[in-house]
Chain A
Amino acid sequence: MSGNAALGEAAVLAGCTCYFGYPITPQNELTEYMAKRMAEVPGGVFIQSESEIAAINMVLGASVAGARAMTSSSSPGISLKQEGISYLAADELPAVIADMVRGGPGMGNISPAQSDYLQATRGGGHGDYKTIVLAPASVQELADLVPVAFDLADEYRNPVIILGDGMLGQLMEPVSFDHIKPPAEFPKDYILNGAKGRPSRMIHSLLFDTKLEEEHNWKLYRKFQRIEQNEVRFETFMLEDAEMVVIAYGTSARIAKGAIKRLRQENLKVGLIRPITVWPFPTEIIQETANRVENFFVFEMSTGQLIEDVKLALGGKRHIHFYGRPGGVIPTPIELYRVTSRHYYQAVREKSQ
């Protein structure tokens, strides 16, 4: 099954009943899958919207009405959705948004890239807010994280982004959905469904009073702090004895793993920290590792975005090597093996001097 289709099936099993989308490569298989699948779901809604802006606002409407709703797109389309994502965050409404990142900026191309990292992890739209960002590295993990995304969105009443790329979306891999449980129940005491037998409700982000707006911003901030405390997810690989640690996420982490296996055959002690949530960022494990490891190696399919979070985590205390390939280029494990071993030997040389 392709990653895009697996994402769709996992969403359905996680209780998603509303999908709104606009075609853009490389995520079209998801929109097409949902067009077919939503017709089989009781109360299922599928709309091919007139634009990405309309799609995210339909998501907002469905979310306000109490449904589990999602949309998906790729980089240029995600830029258009940022307006709606900002409103979802301000209104404290749950939603899931999948971004199958492609090369950019501008039109760029349709090849896999990781150049939307900063857009995804820094809020992306206007105002003080964050989105939870999950970055799966395989089709199975993608399917596994979709129900997590919906639950996190409901629990924190905040938009959650699934940050993939063209590679993950198009990749065909075996995938199991057996372990996906029916969706958990979350209180829906905020939704708008007609004020029958209760006081009317209003949902708005306009707060003319600067004190109220400030209070609202701090309230959101405290929620984001709770998320940072409770929802960090990461994977480590051969970290225990590592002398150099690669930090990579999603597709690049997968490539890095291949490279590390080869490096290990040559007894080069390289390990991996793979953030699964890129926001909240797994700062602690990096800092713990830095107590005994001098050299870190950031690898990403961009000119350097993830590296900013690694620098913040390390606070200038350790040496950070970097290798990036932007523009939709997918490096091979062999290529990464060569680059990593070069940095490894350079680090060894510097240590002996």
Chain B
Amino acid sequence: MKQIYGRPKILKEAHFHYCPGCGHSIVNRLIAEVVEEMKLRDKIICVAPAGCGMLLYNYFDIDTLESAHGRGAAVSTGIKRVLTDSLVFSYQGDGDLAAIGTAEGFHAANRGELITVIFVNNGVYGMTGGQMAPTTILRQVTTTCPAGRNPDSAGHPVKICEVFSMLDGTSYLERVAVNKPAAVIQAKKAIAKAFQHQINKTGFSLVEILSPCPTNWKMDPIRSCKWIDEVMVKEFPLGVIKEVTC
């Protein structure tokens, strides 16, 4: 009998700690599937973040280092410059990449480091309890903008893909979501494509993934998935933001 679906071997036999309806578990699984299908286990190194995604090493059967908050792109740079034939990816959240680690991500992108950033954007600081993130939507309520994000004092949502697209070192930037089956399939394709760009040495690649956080959005999982389409996508349009032919 032909098996058409199963648990990727790259995923260890561990239970995800993520909240119900969280997008991280989907993203973790997609990465595991891509690593397995592209046969990358022997050469891949994962840099895990601070934040909800930090326990990646409990789930992935691949070499994994946990980085300090925001420093994933700098650590990945160090690894990749030594192991030039490896495949290095940094898994980062919105606070990690778009606030405390903006400099590290921006300059790794600008140098055209041959690394991939998997950027999970859920518009809040999840692990610390739902504070405002640089990508929080205007008027969205969080614990540190209880009256809704006000641009006069808190600025506007940061569009990492669009900002990075201006940098000559970047070769592939796509924004996807994991809120419905078709989007999940597209997200997987984007991750595979970003890795391929790294393998082909065309430049820095990044996949931004709009991901639900029902716990901190104070919504049920179904409502969260709808909210991505109704609100989040309007601020963060999906699609390939930049692709340099490799």
Interface residues of A (CB under 8 A from B): 17-18, 20, 43, 45, 47, 49-51, 53-55, 57-67, 69, 83-84, 87, 91, 192-197, 199-206
Contact = CB atoms under 8 A, between A and B. Distances in A.
A61 B68 CA distance: 11
B48 interface: yes
Interface in B38-71: 41-45, 47-48, 50, 54-55, 57, 60-68, 71
B30 to A, nearest CB: 18
A300 B145 CA distance: 50
B242 interface: no
B48 to A, nearest CB: 7
B167 interface: no
B92 to A, nearest CB: 13
B197 to A, nearest CB: 19
B107 A49 contact: yes
Contacts of A55: 74
Contacts of A61: 47, 65, 74-82
Nearest to B110: A50
B31 to A, nearest CB: 14
A73 to B, nearest CB: 15
B64 A192 contact: yes
16 contacts: A49-B74, A61-B76, A62-B78, A62-B79, A62-B82, A64-B78, A66-B82, A84-B71, A192-B65, A195-B41, A195-B62, A196-B41, A200-B62, A202-B57, A204-B66, A206-B50
Given A54-B107, A62-B82, A47 B77 contact: yes
A17 B55 CA distance: 31
B61 A65 contact: no
A20 B82 contact: no
A204 B45 contact: no
Given A47-B81, A200-B61, A205-B66, 18 more contacts: A17-B82, A18-B81, A20-B78, A54-B107, A57-B68, A57-B78, A58-B77, A61-B65, A61-B80, A62-B81, A193-B63, A194-B44, A194-B86, A195-B62, A196-B41, A200-B62, A201-B64, A203-B65
Contacts of A202: 57, 63-66
B74 A57 contact: yes
Given A192-B65, A200-B64, A203-B66, A54 B74 contact: yes
B103 interface: yes
Interface string B118-150: 000000000000000000000000000000000
B79 A204 contact: no
A64 B75 contact: yes
A17 B81 CA distance: 10
B235 interface: no
A215 B201 CA distance: 43
B83 A204 contact: no
Nearest to A196: B42
A69 B78 contact: yes
A205 B54 CA distance: 11
A218 to B, nearest CB: 21
Contacts of B80: 61
B67 A194 contact: no
B229 interface: no
Contact of B78 (A53, A58, A203, A205): A58
B104 interface: yes
Contacts of B63: 192-195, 200-202
Given A57-B75, A194-B42, A195-B41, A206 B54 contact: yes
A200 B35 CA distance: 14
B28 to A, nearest CB: 15
B42 A51 contact: no
Contacts of A201: 63-64
A50 B104 contact: yes
Interface-centre pick from B45, B50, B78, B87 (highest chain A CB count, 10 A)? B78
Contacts of A194: 41-45, 62-63, 83, 86-87
Nearest to B56: A202
A196 B43 contact: yes
Interface-centre pick from B45, B76, B82, B87 (highest chain A CB count, 10 A)? B82
Contact of A54 (B42, B43, B86, B103): B103
Contacts of B55: 206
A328 B137 CA distance: 49
A49 B103 CA distance: 10
Contacts of A51: 103
Contacts of A60: 67, 71, 75, 78
A94 B187 CA distance: 37
Contacts of A69: 78
B104 A57 contact: yes
Contacts of B64: 192, 200-204
Contact of A18 (B62, B67, B82, B111): B82
A91 B111 CA distance: 27
A65 B62 contact: no
Interface-centre pick from A57, A83, A205 (highest chain B CB count, 10 A)? A57
Nearest to B106: A50
B83 A53 contact: no
B78 A200 contact: no
Contacts of B45: 65, 192-194
